[in-house]
Amino acid sequence: MNGNIIIKNASQLVTCSGSAAKKGGEMAELHLISDGALVITEGKIDAVGTTREIEARLEASAADLKDFDIIDARNKAVLPGFVDSHTHFVFGGYRAEEFSWRLRGDSYMEIMNRGGGIVNTVKATRDASADQLFQCGIQRLDAMLAFGVTTVEGKSGYGLDHDTEIKQLEVMAHLDQVHYADVVPTFLGAHAIPPEYLNRQDDFIDFMIDEVLPEVSERKLAQFCDVFCEKNVFSVPQSRRLLTRAAGLGLKLKLHADEIVQTGGAELAAELGAVSADHLLQASDEGLQRMAAAGVVATLLPATAFSLKEPYARGRHIIDAGGAVALATDFNPGSCFTESIPLIFSLATLYMGITTEEAISAMTINAAAALDRADTIGSLDVGKQGDVVILEYPSYHFIPYHLAVNTVEKVVKKGTLVFDKQKRGMTYC
């Protein structure tokens, strides 16, 4: 448990090497090493190469192998830890009945417009204690870690008032401290209009700008500010006003953009230099092009489209046009109640025209870039954090091939083995 580990004899080391988002054709390059090995020292990757090279290096440096855990990854593929760069995993209550209503024909927006949807979860999250949210958060992070997710973005947005928004962000800070997964907090105060501000969107944006955002920034409770930019939720001018203020206070930007109706969210993301714009099911060609030119990562959420029976975002088109795509779960209690990474791989490859190699880049280095962390995570490169996934199969092709089933056998976080399927689960907590 000292953050020192040697992984050797891997049939395939999928390094995903790089320190920035991969765009267009670059997404297909995984930088493989056959019979690969890597050394992690004090949580950081120290050496990457073939097993023969790494063994020679260890011998030459007279390293004391007693200081290292050693994993024999014979017949196994080894990849960077997955990064889930878009989730809403801290919430109270559930909305299981809404899933059945949607099967009956009600749309997500119809349910939302009659007071269900996000606002339902808002009531339950306001009522939940910080400790209840924390306990649920631990369970959800455990589930994600077992899918190979070593870094998780999480959004507020189920409070829509000062105290509950702050409570959600404080819970995420606590989870980041105690759980092996890294938690990246995003302030999504403008996620929906609460009943007290019905038909007063502009006043609600003023409230967030004046009463909540300054404290979020001062106490460094969030690294990103996000907004649900959507017809009947927040308009492009309202979103621009909030995000511009957030950027002025030092937060980086994300948007829920062009999910249900095309409103120009992709164009706004490019204009503001957002780190990512997410969903994009209805984004215009022009908006996607401007995003690619401005270096905004297109974060696609196929399980949400699947769950809502909406058409998928145009992954193939975005990559062919030179854009950078990340994939994420969008885990939340309404539109997409799943933390399943295998499902994301299945949907992206089978229904979005994304190749297996591109999907792996999208869940690793590009997802890291969607969190502005491509310099520290998302690939197996020397100097990066030692976050590693070991599959129970010899090649990365098994990930989408084993349809919607978890192929992860072991997970290493900062050089410590934190999940081992062979030991029936978690090795911690």
| The one among 330, 339, 387, 409 contacting ligand NIG by CB under 6 A | 330
Contact 140/89 with Cβ under 8 angstroms? yes
**Whole-Å CA distances, 205 to 194, 243, 264, 334:** 11, 10, 19, 23
Residue 22 interaction partner, one of ligand NIG, Fe ion, none, beta carbon < 5-8 Å per kind: none
- Size of site (CB under 6 A) for ligand NIG: 14
Cα separation, 339 vs 136, in Å, equals: 13
Contact flag: residue 334 with ligand NIG (CB under 6 A)? yes
For the CB of residue 404, give the shortest distance to ligand NIG in the complex, in Å: 20
- Size of site (CB under 5 A) for Fe ion: 1
Task: Select 310 or 392, whichever has its Cβ closest to ligand NIG.
Answer: 310
Contact flag: residue 226 with Fe ion (CB under 5 A)? no
CA angle 108, 341, 120 (to 5 degrees): 30
Contact letters (x/-) for Fe ion, 283-322, by CB under 5 A? Answer: ----------------------------------------
Phi first, then psi: give them for residue 300, nearest 5 degrees: -105, 145
For the CB of residue 332, give the shortest distance to ligand NIG in the complex, in Å: 4
Contact flag: residue 239 with ligand NIG (CB under 6 A)? no
Contact 317/328 with Cβ under 8 angstroms? no
Contact 147/418 with Cβ under 8 angstroms? no
Residue of closest CB approach to ligand NIG: 334
For the CB of residue 276, give the shortest distance to ligand NIG in the complex, in Å: 13
Residue 334 interaction partner, one of Fe ion, ligand NIG, none, beta carbon < 5-8 Å per kind: ligand NIG
H or E element in which residue 181 lies: none
For the CB of residue 304, give the shortest distance to ligand NIG in the complex, in Å: 5
Which of 68-76, 331-339, 340-348, 372-380 is the region at the interface with ligand NIG (rule: CB under 6 A)? 331-339
> What six digits make up the tokens of 328?
């994420």
> What six digits make up the tokens of 344?
């994301």
Cα separation, 165 vs 374, in Å, equals: 28
Contact 45/38 with Cβ under 8 angstroms? yes
Cα separation, 67 vs 153, in Å, equals: 33
H or E element in which residue 10 lies: strand 5-14
At residue 56, what is the residue type?
Answer: A
- Helices and strands in the chain, H and E counts: 17, 17
Contact flag: residue 330 with Fe ion (CB under 5 A)? yes
Residue whose structure tokens are 């670059």: 26
For the CB of residue 353, give the shortest distance to ligand NIG in the complex, in Å: 22
Q: Which of residues 162-221 bind Fe ion (CB under 5 A)?
A: none
Contact 236/268 with Cβ under 8 angstroms? yes
Contact flag: residue 267 with ligand NIG (CB under 6 A)? no
Strand segments (E) across 252-362? 252-257, 276-279, 297-300, 325-327
| Pairing of the two strands 5-14 and 408-413 | unpaired
For the CB of residue 263, give the shortest distance to ligand NIG in the complex, in Å: 13
Q: Which of residues 122-151 bind ligand NIG (CB under 6 A)?
A: none
Cβ within 8 Å of residue 424, ≥6 positions away: none
For the CB of residue 122, give the shortest distance to ligand NIG in the complex, in Å: 9
Contact flag: residue 256 with ligand NIG (CB under 6 A)? yes
| The one among 37, 45, 73, 118 contacting ligand NIG by CB under 6 A | 118
For the CB of residue 409, give the shortest distance to ligand NIG in the complex, in Å: 31
Residue whose structure tokens are 């295998």: 342
Which of 24-32, 56-64, 240-248, 329-337 is the region at the interface with ligand NIG (rule: CB under 6 A)? 329-337
| The one among 23, 76, 88, 252 contacting ligand NIG by CB under 6 A | 88
Residue 259 interaction partner, one of ligand NIG, Fe ion, none, beta carbon < 5-8 Å per kind: ligand NIG
Residue 257's SS3 state is: strand
Contact 16/31 with Cβ under 8 angstroms? yes
Which of 65-73, 116-124, 139-147, 358-366 is the region at the interface with ligand NIG (rule: CB under 6 A)? 116-124
For the CB of residue 80, give the shortest distance to ligand NIG in the complex, in Å: 25
Write out the residues near ligand NIG by the rule CB under 6 A: 88, 117-118, 121, 228, 256, 259, 304, 330, 332-336
Write out the residues near Fe ion by the rule CB under 5 A: 330
